[in-house]
Amino acid sequence: MEAAALPAELGAGLPVGLGAELREAVSLAEFTTWRVGGPAQWFCEPEHNDQMVGLARWARRQGLPLQVIGAGSNLLVSDEGLAGLTLCQRRLQGSQLDGATGLIEAQAGEPIPTLARRAARAGLGGLEWAVGIPGTVGGAVVMNAGAQGGCTSEWLQEVTVFDPNRDGEPFVLASRDLAFAYRHSRLQQEPLVVLSARFRLRAGLDPAAVGQRTSANLRSRTSSQPYQQPSCGSVFRNPEPHKAGQLIEALGLKGLSVGGAEVSSLHANFIVNTGAALASDMDELIALVQQRVRQAHGIELHPEVQRLGSFGEPTRAA
Ligand SMILES: Cc1cc2nc3c(=O)[nH]c(=O)nc-3n(C[C@H](O)[C@H](O)[C@H](O)COP(=O)(O)OP(=O)(O)OC[C@H]3O[C@@H](n4cnc5c(N)ncnc54)[C@H](O)[C@@H]3O)c2cc1C
């Protein structure tokens, strides 16, 4: 989609040079790994943190709702799309690693698999589990992403955030202040935007050994999960002590579909887009799986995937 001519009343107060980068009616299906979702009313991919902050404040002054996304790998965006401004962090990449101390400073848009590989090459241990998670550092912090026994909060020291609803400077929050729990942080409830993160890993390890562990983790995931099809990873949080995938598989729900949404035949906690799925298909299939598991086991499955925009009441699961 080409840059739209901005209405004069919206141009006022835009960060310098960003008028042309702000695009109108951009399909968010292209910015989510599920490949579903309607348009963002306004959309931009800032390349510097000051642009990010400036655009967020501009949206507030214009009275436009703001949504920040990373790699879109844990998002279900409604077919109607999102009103206001959507800012995608994926161009805000970069990281500095200190092989001696194990300290890493990473921009919010840095891909987590890139960081895991760089850490391994520097002989830093801790992020071997992160190589198969196709998200950004910012998204990993917000979601407390984790796999294979590791998670973000274990290695995170602090994050730099800003509050788009106020005019103050960006500020630092320590890891202990983020209310981390299983796939949870307080940033899921508060509208703070992550600009960068500082991790401390284990230093002084053999890069070849860390690299081998990292590659083995990736191989084990790609052989047991449907990486070749559009998905959002695991749809449901595990209802401890159970595994969501095992509960779904035991009910014979692999292959169950609504429109273009299908419970993966490789891993039952994944729903894949078989080609032309709508967000409403995903939403209805989620509700159908929840209903079947509730009826059979009396267990409520809670989606891990974050819904953005408005969704009607699912009809087929009623
Ligand atoms: C094939 C596949 C495998 C996966 N495997 C795993 C796994 O093993 N473990 C796991 O935990 N997850 C997994 N996921 C899910 C997903 O990759 C993670 O949740 C990831 O951390 C999301 O990062 P993201 O950048 O894509 O965030 P998005 O999906 O873009 O956003 C997720 C949430 O974070 C918010 N957000 C994103 N960036 C920022 C920011 N900078 N500031 C403030 N808020 C922000 C968004 O508003 C949204 O609420 C998988 C996904 C896929 C597609």
Structure tokens at 219: 């191989």
User: Does the C-beta of 134 come closer than 6 Å to ligand 1?
Assistant: yes
**Residue 18: per-residue pLDDT:** 66
Q: Over the chain, what is the mean pLDDT? A: 93
Q: Where in the chain is the domain with CATH 3.30.465.10?
A: 95-224
Active site residue: 234, 280, 284, 292, which one?
Answer: 234
For residue 33, which of 187, 136, 172 has the smallest C-alpha distance? Answer: 136
Give the Å distance between the CA of 74 and the centre of ligand 1.
4
What pairing do the DSSP bridges indicate for beta strands 75-77 and 306-308? parallel
User: Does the C-beta of 150 come closer than 6 Å to ligand 1?
Assistant: no
Q: Which atom of ligand 1 is nearest to the CA of 67?
A: 47
Per-residue pLDDT tens over the stretch 101-160? 999 999 999 999 999 999 999 999 999 999 999 999 999 999 999 998 999 999 999 999
**What band does 19 get if pLDDT is binned at 50, 70 and 90?**
low
Q: By alpha-carbon position, which residue is closest to atom 44 of ligand 1?
A: 193
**Residue 159: per-residue pLDDT:** 98
Contact (CB, 8 A) for 244 and 299:
no
Q: By alpha-carbon position, which residue is closest to atom 9 of ligand 1?
A: 146
Q: 2 or 256, which is more confident? A: 256
110 in catalytic set? no
**Residue 211: per-residue pLDDT:** 98
Q: Where in the chain is the domain with CATH 3.30.43.10?
A: 8-88
Per-residue pLDDT tens over the stretch 35-80? 999 999 999 999 999 999 999 999 999 999 999 999 999 999 999 9
Candidate of 76, 115, 143, 270 to mutate for ligand 1, largest count of ligand atoms within 8 Å of Cβ: 143
**Residue 6: per-residue pLDDT:** 63
Q: Which helix (H) or strand (E) holds 114?
A: helix 112-121
Q: Where in the chain is the domain with CATH 3.90.78.10?
A: 244-308
User: Does the C-beta of 147 come closer than 6 Å to ligand 1?
Assistant: yes
DSSP string, 200-248: E-B-S--HHHHHHHHHHHHHHHHHHS-TTS---S-SB---TTS-HHHHH
Q: Which CATH architecture has domain 95-224?
A: 2-Layer Sandwich (3.30)
Q: Is 52 exposed, middle or buried (0-12, 13-18, 19+ CB in 10 A)?
A: buried
User: Does the C-beta of 280 come closer than 6 Å to ligand 1?
Assistant: no
Task: Give the separation between CA 140 and CA 153, rounded to whole angstroms.
Answer: 9
Q: Which atom of ligand 1 is nearest to the CA of 129?
A: 8
Q: Which CATH architecture has domain 244-308?
A: Alpha-Beta Complex (3.90)
Contact (CB, 8 A) for 292 and 299:
no
Non-local (6+) Cβ contacts of 16 within 8 A are none
183 in catalytic set? yes
User: Does the C-beta of 142 come closer than 6 Å to ligand 1?
Assistant: yes
Residue type (1 letter), 127 = L
DSSP string, 2-24: PBPPPPHHHHTTPPTT-TTT-EE
Contact (CB, 8 A) for 23 and 46:
no
Question: How many residues in total does the chain contain?
Answer: 318
Q: Does domain 8-88 have CATH number 3.40.20.10?
A: no
Q: By alpha-carbon position, which residue is closest to atom 2 of ligand 1?
A: 233
* DSSP SS3 for 133: coil
Q: Which atom of ligand 1 is nearest to the CA of 192?
A: 43
Active site residue: 183, 198, 221, 292, which one?
Answer: 183
Per-residue pLDDT tens over the stretch 265-300? 999 999 999 999 999 999 999 999 999 999 999 999
**Residue 84: per-residue pLDDT:** 96
**Residue 105: per-residue pLDDT:** 98
**What band does 312 get if pLDDT is binned at 50, 70 and 90?**
confident
Give the Å distance between the CA of 183 and the centre of ligand 1.
10
Please tell me the pTM assigned to this model.
0.94
Contact (CB, 8 A) for 86 and 28:
yes
**Residue 157: per-residue pLDDT:** 98
